[in-house]
Structure 1
Amino acid sequence: MPSIPRLELDTTDHAIIDCLQKDGRTSVAHLARVINLSASATSDRVRRLTDGGVITGYSITVDSEAMGYNVTAFVRLAYPTGNYKPFHDLVDSLPEVIEAHHVTGADCFIIKVLARSMRDLERITGRLATLGGITTSVVYSSPIPSRHITPA
């Protein structure tokens, strides 16, 4: 099966990506000054990176506690069947599930959950447990909550 061709990225592309990861609201004019290109050439580069699937979107970062979610947890799910539709249906119905990863090993999924309280976490994990065995780890703190991607 052929793989999707990757864009060849140069140092200018990396500089654009780095700048936009730090501030996705950066204007093209400011970005052009930072990378030392014209605004039109910079705009073309950003469009190429977007069309090529390197830049997949722009978003904001929100403090979960400010939104009322005081508990963060990771739930490992040992899913007993290869029919993943019930899993997808359930996590689609739980807005507190903010990430789900299909993984190797004894567990099938690792799920990141935000909850309003421990009682709320119990409700969410109770619903997830209807699909298979779960193990829940509550987060004390996140010294590296997320990291920008650097060139491979």
Structure 2
Amino acid sequence: MTGNLDEIDWAILEELQRDARVSLSELGRRVNLSSSATTERVRHLEARGVISGYAAVVDLSAVGYPVLALVRLKYPGNRHEPLRRLLGERREILECLRTTGDDCYTLKIATTSMDHLEKIIDELAAFGSTTTSVVYRQTLPYRGPARPTP
């Protein structure tokens, strides 16, 4: 077992990562469990925090956010609360990772235009220096983890 997950747990996770809307009875069929056993397994994975939620995958361009950028932020200060407040207010900031190395944070930002991106970068620049990379294309969308191999 890896991380206290067995083969069936990993099979359930792989199926749910492919299609989180699959019915529990269909999920059970796919992993060779009864519907009640599948329901119990999924509830257990949720209770343990292995499954932390379910979400729709949204095409950013289709909803008016065609510009995607990765922004690295060097934050020389030690008071992170003002930055956390901005992160909570700006829904264009899709993801924020606290990182090691020269940069303190890496942010994934979706905007309606380059002008819109520039305004958000200007707001972030109040916290430190930024480096921005605009994404041409997402060649591999997020797909979730697979079972680790020893």
TM-score, normalising length: structure 2:
0.94
CA-CA distance at 1:147 after TM superposition: 2.0
Measure, in 1, the Cα distance between the counterparts of 2:3 and 2:122.
44
> Contact 2:74/2:102 (CA < 8 Å) preserved in 1?
yes
Structure 1 partner of 2:30: 34
| 2:68 matches 1:72 | yes
Number of aligned residue pairs: 147
Structure 1 partner of 2:10: 14
Moved beyond 6 Å, runs of 4+ = none
Percent sequence identity over aligned pairs: 44
Measure, in 1, the Cα distance between the counterparts of 2:44 and 2:18.
19
AA partner of residue 72 (structure 2): R
AA partner of residue 42 (structure 2): V
AA partner of residue 116 (structure 2): D
Long gaps (5+) in structure 2: none
Q: Determine helix, strand or coil for the equivalent of 1:66.
A: helix
AA partner of residue 51 (structure 2): I
Structure 2 partner of 1:3: none
CA-CA distance at 1:148 after TM superposition: 2.3
Q: Determine helix, strand or coil for the equivalent of 1:54.
A: coil
> Contact 1:7/1:52 (CA < 8 Å) preserved in 2?
no
